[in-house]
């Protein structure tokens, strides 16, 4: 019996379709190996590179080699982190092209014990330290060494990136989610820092009672890794050089003369940036060593008029906040017990601004409130504030340890969200407009320092009244403590991160800091619903897809059988 021509034709068409489908699949896979793209459907655009990062990658002049040392088999969280790094680096390569080379490597893989020790030492010199990961075996736990680091090499230099430095007080899932969201900023910032031929220059101004010594050790030893840091005695110099990208005025306590204020004023008018830490009241725990009570006194720095002109007023008061750090107090039995100390507030980063977005709480000492003043053309952004349950007391304030003996009541704290750090941006006007004698103006001209009445372009400064915001502690047992570490509770706060973010914002015009502002919302499953609806969702996710496939296959086979079935009349005709 001869095969029907129609049947042969259908077989040929089927073969052609299969060949075309295989060719399409091969082509798609080949193209996918060269081109990588994706559609970011997250509300916060978490997986999309920010424009400053794209601009940085497009303008790269050298090749960046990025070594990822997080390689191997890890628990689910770190495995997800590993894939997030790979995905982020692919996004970088899409924009940077051949200028981005990345590789995943386990530096200890296949190495002898003697070689491993040398490798660990060499990586430690570069700022990369081995960590131990607890892994669960069949019968026991074991410790696996791993390196949660990335090493970026660019422009003849290199910079390590630690991947797991999430803010304290978060569980492991939240910490990993935060670390994933910060990947773009960390890698882009490393390339940006290495791309600069020289470090930005910072001056720490002295001459007016600013602390300089043990309490500023951490700040003045941390900044040189990123900036060319100098200390400048304002009273001994005729001006603040514009070679400094920014200056730090940290807790002055002495009177500023007119000429010294003019030096700061003209530095700002010429485009210089200032990070102010101004606290108007003399209040310190040292005053409670020999007495259980003291009254605050005011510093007479005469900076108020200058700050008022720029758009803020630091008040002569103290914040009392129920959201605070505790102090130890010796009880009758001689044992210390921690009690809330309302004068040490835990301060909230509240703005959507990159300086404080996704940042943990700051530790505050004795802190003043800040008012924003109407100033034409000046944009004001509050960066830090007190909690919902706070209040302020005008100077002179009676500070007494006896306050810890009484319970705190919410109804007594009726001044919520008091500002304590403000960013000012705009074209600032000089405080000395129409106030300098003509003879003095001619003198400035003769010295080639002509008086400037305003900024030529937008400028920025940051003012905070947080007491000892950038100071570190000290103990006779442990010596100098890290900035932001509170020794009585063992907690770490974000004071150092705030310092570095402020200076980066003031000195870096690339706006890479914008990548920090991405949300890190962790959308976890509802554990209660998981327990109650476990069977339902198992059926929906496992049984239902199988049932749908079987139904589709049955219908499809029935349809094919009916379509291609040879009818009895056709058989007789063929016969």
Summarize pLDDT for 233-274 with one digit per residue, the tens: 999 999 999 999 999 999 999 999 999 999 999 999 999 999
Q: Are residues 467 and 556 in the same domain?
A: no
The answer, yes or no, to whether residue 426 has pLDDT greater than 70, is yes
Of 341-350, 417-426, 437-446, 562-571, the poorest mean pLDDT is in 562-571
- pLDDT band with cut points at 50, 70 and 90 for residue 44: low
The per-residue pLDDT for 144 is 80
> What is the DSSP code string of 168-235?
TT--HHHHHHHHHHTHHHHHHHHHHHHH-SS--EEEEEESSS---SGGGHHHHHHGGGTSEEEEEEGG
Q: What are the tens digits of pLDDT across the range 498-545?
A: 999 999 999 988 888 888 776 655 555 555 666 677 778 777 778 888
CB neighbours of 408 closer than 8 A, spacing ≥ 6?
322, 340, 342
Q: Does some domain include residue 39?
A: no
The answer, yes or no, to whether residue 305 has pLDDT greater than 60, is yes
Q: Are residues 112 and 182 in the same domain?
A: yes
CA separation for the pair 5, 528 (Å, rounded): 64
Q: Are residues 537 and 498 in the same domain?
A: no
The per-residue pLDDT for 337 is 84
Q: Are residues 551 and 500 in the same domain?
A: no
Q: Are residues 91 and 142 in the same domain?
A: yes
Q: Percent of the chain at pLDDT above 90? A: 52
The per-residue pLDDT for 66 is 95
- pLDDT band with cut points at 50, 70 and 90 for residue 565: low
Mean model confidence pLDDT for the chain: 86
Q: Are residues 465 and 536 in the same domain?
A: no
Q: What is the mean pLDDT of residues 413-441?
A: 93
Q: What is the mean pLDDT of residues 353-373?
A: 92
Q: Are residues 122 and 253 in the same domain?
A: no
For residue 511 the two structure tokens come to 């706006």
The per-residue pLDDT for 290 is 80
Block residue for tokens 């077989």? 11
Q: 35 versus 110: which is more confidently predicted?
A: 110
Compute CA 458 distance to the chain's CA centroid, rounded to the nearest angstrom.
25
The per-residue pLDDT for 475 is 86
Please tell me whether the overall predicted TM-score, pTM, comes out greater than 0.95 for this model. no
Among residues 507, 522, 555, the one where a domain terminates is: 507
The answer, yes or no, to whether residue 315 has pLDDT greater than 90, is yes
Q: Does some domain include residue 463?
A: yes
Q: What is the mean pLDDT of residues 413-421?
A: 95
Q: Are residues 127 and 270 in the same domain?
A: no
Q: Percent of the chain at pLDDT above 70? A: 87
Q: Are residues 139 and 273 in the same domain?
A: no
Q: Are residues 55 and 118 in the same domain?
A: yes
211 burial class (0-12, 13-18, 19+ CB within 10 angstroms)? middle
Q: Does some domain include residue 571?
A: yes
The per-residue pLDDT for 471 is 94
CB 245 within 8 A of CB 506: yes
The answer, yes or no, to whether residue 188 has pLDDT greater than 60, is yes
CB 401 within 8 A of CB 362: no
Among residues 151, 166, 193, the one where a domain terminates is: 193
Q: Are residues 452 and 369 in the same domain?
A: yes
Q: Are residues 398 and 276 in the same domain?
A: yes
The answer, yes or no, to whether residue 449 has pLDDT greater than 80, is yes
Q: What are the tens digits of pLDDT across the range 155-185?
A: 999 999 999 887 665 677 777 888 888 899 9
295-331 b/e (C-beta count within 10 Å ≥ 16 → b) = ebeebebebbebbebbbbbbbbbbbbbbbbbebeeee
The answer, yes or no, to whether residue 312 has pLDDT greater than 60, is yes
Among residues 474, 507, 540, the one where a domain terminates is: 507
Q: What is the mean pLDDT of residues 106-111?
A: 87
The per-residue pLDDT for 575 is 55
The count of domains in the chain is 3
Q: Does some domain include residue 239?
A: no
Range of the domain at 331: 248-507
Q: Does some domain include residue 498?
A: yes
The per-residue pLDDT for 25 is 74
The answer, yes or no, to whether residue 491 has pLDDT greater than 80, is yes
Q: Does some domain include residue 262?
A: yes
- pLDDT band with cut points at 50, 70 and 90 for residue 295: very high
Q: Does some domain include residue 236?
A: no
Q: Does some domain include residue 358?
A: yes
The per-residue pLDDT for 39 is 59
The per-residue pLDDT for 568 is 60
CA separation for the pair 158, 64 (Å, rounded): 10
Show the 3-state SS of 36-48. CCCCCCCCCCCCC
The per-residue pLDDT for 3 is 54
The answer, yes or no, to whether residue 573 has pLDDT greater than 60, is no
**End-to-end C-alpha distance for the chain, whole angstroms:** 7
CATH number at residue 150: 3.40.30.10
The per-residue pLDDT for 152 is 95
Q: 151 versus 402: which is more confidently predicted?
A: 151
For residue 146, the tally of other CB atoms under 10 A from its CB is 20
CA separation for the pair 466, 347 (Å, rounded): 9
The per-residue pLDDT for 23 is 82
CA separation for the pair 528, 369 (Å, rounded): 43
């Amino acid at each position: 019996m001869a095969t029907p021509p129609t049947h042969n034709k259908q077989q040929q068409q089927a073969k052609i379709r299969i060949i075309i489908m295989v060719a399409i699949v091969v082509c798609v896979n080949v193209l996918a190996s060269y081109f990588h793209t994706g559609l970011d459907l997250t509300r916060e655009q978490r997986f999309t590179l920010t424009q400053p990062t794209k601009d940085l990658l497009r303008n790269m002049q050298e090749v960046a080699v990025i070594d990822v040392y997080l390689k191997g088999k890890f628990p689910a969280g770190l495995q997800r982190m590993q894939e997030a790094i790979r995905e982020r680096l692919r996004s970088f390569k899409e924009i940077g092209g051949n200028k981005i080379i990345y590789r995943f490597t386990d530096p200890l893989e296949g190495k002898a014990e003697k070689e491993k020790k040398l490798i660990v030492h060499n990586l430690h010199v570069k700022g990369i330290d081995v960590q131990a990961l607890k892994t669960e075996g069949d019968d026991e736990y074991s410790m696996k060494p791993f390196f949660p680091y990335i090493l970026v090499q660019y422009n003849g230099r290199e910079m390590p990136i630690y991947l797991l430095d999430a803010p304290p007080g978060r569980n492991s899932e939240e910490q990993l989610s935060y670390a994933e969201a910060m990947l773009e900023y960390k890698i882009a910032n490393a390339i940006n820092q290495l791309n600069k031929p020289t470090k930005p220059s910072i001056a720490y101004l002295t001459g007016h009672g600013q602390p300089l010594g043990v309490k500023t050790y951490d700040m003045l030893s941390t900044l040189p890794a990123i900036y060319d840091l100098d200390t400048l005695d304002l009273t001994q110099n005729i001006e603040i050089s514009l070679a400094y990208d920014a200056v730090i005025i940290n807790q002055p306590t002495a009177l500023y003369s007119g000429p010294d204020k003019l030096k700061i004023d003209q530095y700002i008018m010429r485009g210089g940036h200032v990070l102010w830490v101004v606290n108007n009241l003399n209040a310190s725990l040292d005053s409670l060593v020999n007495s259980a009570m003291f009254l605050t006194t005011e510093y007479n720095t005469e900076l108020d008029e200058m700050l008022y002109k720029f758009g803020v007023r630091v008040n002569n008061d103290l914040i009392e906040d129920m959201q605070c750090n505790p102090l130890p107090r010796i009880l009758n039995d001689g044992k210390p017990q921690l009690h809330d100390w309302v004068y040490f507030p835990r301060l909230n980063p509240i703005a959507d601004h990159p300086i404080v977005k996704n940042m943990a709480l700051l530790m505050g000492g004795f802190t003043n409130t800040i008012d924003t003043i109407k100033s034409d053309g000046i944009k004001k952004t509050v960066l830090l504030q007190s909690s919902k349950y706070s209040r302020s007391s005008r100077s002179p304030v009676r500070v007494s340890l006896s306050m810890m003996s009484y319970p705190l009541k919410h109804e007594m704290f009726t001044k919520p969200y008091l500002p304590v750090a403000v960013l000012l941006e705009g074209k600032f006007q000089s405080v000395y407009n129409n106030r300098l004698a003509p003879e003095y103006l001619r003198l400035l001209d003769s010295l080639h320092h002509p008086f400037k009445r305003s900024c030529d372009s937008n400028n920025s400064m940051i003012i905070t009244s947080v007491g000892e915001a950038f100071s570190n502690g000290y103990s006779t047992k442990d010596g100098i403590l890290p900035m932001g570490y509170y020794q009585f509770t063992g907690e770490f706060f974000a004071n150092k991160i705030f310092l570095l973010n402020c200076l980066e914002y003031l000195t870096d015009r690339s706006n890479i800091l914008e990548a920090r502002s991405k949300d890190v919302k962790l959308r976890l499953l509802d554990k209660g619903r998981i327990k109650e609806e476990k069977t339902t969702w198992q059926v929906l996710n496992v049984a239902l897809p199988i049932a749908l496939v079987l139904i589709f296959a049955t219908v499809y086979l029935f349809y094919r059988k009916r379509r291609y079935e040879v009818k009895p009349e056709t058989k007789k005709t063929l016969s």
